[in-house]
Amino acid sequence: MNLPLLSIMTWAPFVAALIIMFLGRRSPLLVRWTAVLGAFVSLVASLYVYWAYDRVAAGFQFGEKFALVPSLGISYELGLDGMSALMVLLTSIIIFAGAFASWTVKERGQEFYALLLLLVTGVYGVFVSLDLFVFFLFYEIAVLPMYLLIGIWGSSGYVKPQGIFGWAMGRTGVGTKEYAAMKLTLYLLFGSAFILVGILALYVANGSRSFSFLDFQAMNIDPTLQSWVFLAFYIGFGILAAIWPFHTWSPDGHASAPTAVSMLHAGVLMKLGAYGVVRLGMGLLPDASVEWAWLVGAIACINIVYGALSALAQTDLKYVIAYSSVSHMGVVMLGAATLTQTGLNGSVFQMFAHGIMTGLFFALVGLVYEKSHSREIFKMGGFGTMMPGIATAFTIAGLSSLGLPATAGFVAEFLTFLGAWSSAHPWWLFPGVIGALLTSIYVLRVTKAIFWGPPSTDPHFQNLPDAVGTEWAALGILVFVLVLFGVVPSLAIAPIDTATMPLLMRLTGR
């Protein structure tokens, strides 16, 4: 039996989206179950490839390839290594949970689910494609539906224009969902322009024969070219990974986006950026990644501390979580910049851990918002008695976020710290650790303000229900995965090792 598993995984959500568009006009329930089914097919496929991936043989497996434009060397080439196996697993889990979490989308559910699934197709495609042209196509597919998803189903907030750029903020309409959607899309497209330039530069340097990742990997690239192509990739993908100072789309975007979209975006799409930096930047440009490691690491340190401090300053729940993503993506980038096996493992593990954790966070924030119609942290209080389930899940997500052992977050952060101290810039350890400390401060502060304390006297906050029905499914899956990978980290470390070891051999082994 030789099924094209990666294609099935990638296109199953797309097929589900088509079915939804054509058949789902009448029945909202059909739409939802079709979406869940599509996500489920991908989940099964990704679980299978994760399980069946040969960890001894390593390298890219489950390959598929046929030529699309032979004259330009473009082909539909898929393959998966240990790192992408973990990433597709993450994607599957998040979209599966996300399909449940957005069960209550009322307005135009059909289009919502179709776009969501289309987006996921793009994400899968990015993780498994080995042809950079196709990679880029999928990348754009993953980014663009976000505009509509936020613009139509998002929620607006209010930001008071202030400061020396206040006039500008008044003009651009800060706070509205349209603003957030536009900002996110433009910013990410701005980034993808850099990526495209980088890919084309490599393509030309390669003699314009092939877009295949493996072919690029095999060639020797001039160090000067490497140097600026790496920067192009770093900026391009880094924008999606919310590197400072290109991160400001992320809080606005995540705060405005509807629940499932926030989950998917913070949980998976930001990983796309980090994955791009590791896969293309470090994978193809070994000399340049050594050369620029100091920059990547230094900015990652800024991200960690700066994101955590910003999160501490927020009063809007969604913004807190969004800024925590900025902070945690810093850990991802820091781990990658250490150029050590432990650090890189930590980085990839953190991609996974943060994906699950932030997915859980946004699912919970969505639930809290849906029940209480408020995101103002300091107006809430005592929700723990009314919604103990949500409170528990929120606490677990928070604990993972602050790196408590027995949750996935700890393993990731710890490995990153070990890597940081072994790297060429040991001082990176300290911002990392301080970030973890600050995280504990803002997470517990928020938990205390929302769920603890005496019940709020606000009439809006009386008799709020706990999570119900399918919402439990989303929470349950995510909590389970978070704890499972925290207790048995070798589940993920073993496949990651197979991918990071050859990568580092190329970087430092010469």
Q: Enumerate binding residues for another protein (CB under 8 A).
A: 159, 162-169, 171-172, 174, 183, 186, 244-245, 248, 252, 306, 309-310, 312-314, 341-342, 382, 384-385, 399, 402, 404-406, 410-411, 414-415, 417-418, 421-422, 429-430, 433-434, 436-437, 440-441, 444-445, 448, 451-455, 489-490, 493-494, 497
In the numeric block, the tokens 């900002």 are attached to 183
Single-letter residue type at 7? S
**With respect to another protein, which residue has the nearer C-beta, 284 or 311?**
311
Smallest distance, another protein to C-beta of residue 259, A: 23
Distances (CA, A) of 187 to 190, 193, 199: 5, 10, 19
Smallest distance, another protein to C-beta of residue 493, A: 6
How far apart, in whole angstroms, are the C-alpha atoms of residue 370 and residue 374?
A: 8
Task: Identify whether the C-beta of residue 278 lies closer than 8 Å to the C-beta of residue 230.
Answer: no
Smallest distance, another protein to C-beta of residue 165, A: 3
Smallest distance, another protein to C-beta of residue 119, A: 24
Report which of 185, 157, 392, 194 is spatially closest to residue 277, judged by C-alpha positions: 194
Q: Can you give the C-alpha Rg of the chain in angstroms?
A: 21
The tokens for 179 are 């603003």
Smallest distance, another protein to C-beta of residue 114, A: 30
Q: At what angle do helices 429-451 and 408-422 cross, to 10 degrees?
A: 160
**With respect to another protein, which residue has the nearer C-beta, 155 or 248?**
248
Smallest distance, another protein to C-beta of residue 478, A: 16
If you write DSSP's letter for every residue of 205-252 in order, what string do you get? Answer: HTTSS--BHHHHHHSPPPHHHHHHHHHHHHHHHHHHTT-TTS-THHHH
In the numeric block, the tokens 């399918």 are attached to 470
Task: Identify whether the C-beta of residue 94 lies closer than 8 Å to the C-beta of residue 286.
Answer: no
Cα dihedral 306, 311, 312, 315, rounded to 10, equals: 150
How far apart, in whole angstroms, are the C-alpha atoms of residue 337 and residue 346?
A: 11
**With respect to another protein, which residue has the nearer C-beta, 59 or 476?**
476
How far apart, in whole angstroms, are the C-alpha atoms of residue 257 and residue 180?
A: 8
Smallest distance, another protein to C-beta of residue 18, A: 36
Single-letter residue type at 480? F
Task: Identify whether the C-beta of residue 228 lies closer than 8 Å to the C-beta of residue 109.
Answer: no
Smallest distance, another protein to C-beta of residue 384, A: 6
Task: Identify whether the C-beta of residue 451 lies closer than 8 Å to the C-beta of residue 383.
Answer: yes
Name every residue whose Cβ is closer than 8 Å to that of residue 468 and which is 6 or more positions away in sequence.
none
Handedness of CA 48, 344, 479, 257 (dihedral sign): negative
**With respect to another protein, which residue has the nearer C-beta, 306 or 361?**
306
**With respect to another protein, which residue has the nearer C-beta, 218 or 505?**
505
**With respect to another protein, which residue has the nearer C-beta, 223 or 453?**
453
Smallest distance, another protein to C-beta of residue 408, A: 13
Smallest distance, another protein to C-beta of residue 230, A: 24
- The C-alpha angle with vertex 163 and arms to 307 and 255, in degrees rounded to 5, equals 40
